[in-house]
Amino acid sequence: MRYGNSKIFKDENGTQYLNRIQYPVIPIADSDVFITGVKGQRMDNLAFKYYGNQELWWVIARANNQNNGSMFLQSGKEYRIPQNIGKIIRLFNKLND
C-alpha cells in the first residue's frame, strides 16, 4: 500500500526511481488509544492489531514522531495509536496522488 501509490520516474540516464513519499500530519484526536511500550513490541504488530494491516506501521511511527527507522517500541514509553485511520489514509493518498 505504502509504495503501491508511488509514481515511478526516470532520470536523464533512464534510471528509474520512486518519488518521495509525503506523510500527513496526524493531529491528536479524542479517539486515539494510548499504550505503554513493552520490550520486543513492534509497530507493524500494533498496526495489524489495531488496523488489520501491518503495512500501516508508518501511521503509528508518524503519530509518535519516531523517525529513527526502528520498528521497536521503547519499554515504558507512552505511544499514541490513532483510530481515525480512514481519514489518515485519505490524507496520505491526497498528498501522494
The rounded distance, in Å, linking the Cα atoms of 14 and 79 is: 43
Residue 55, domain extent: 8-95
Q: Give the pTM.
A: 0.79
| Contacting residues for 3 by C-beta, under 8 A, at least 6 apart | 18, 21
CATH number of 27's domain: 3.10.350
* Length, in residues, of the chain: 97
pLDDT for position 2:
55
**pLDDT under 70 in the chain at which residues?**
1-7, 17-19
C-alpha cell at 42: 513492534
Number of domains in the chain: 1
2 domain-assigned: no
pLDDT for position 15:
81
Residue-wise pLDDT for 32-59, tens only, equals 999 999 999 999 999 999 999 999 999 9
C-alpha of 45 from chain center: 12
Residue type, 50: Y
pLDDT for position 19:
67
81 domain-assigned: yes
1 domain-assigned: no
Q: Which helix (H) or strand (E) holds 48?
A: helix 43-51
46 domain-assigned: yes
The rounded distance, in Å, linking the Cα atoms of 96 and 68 is: 22
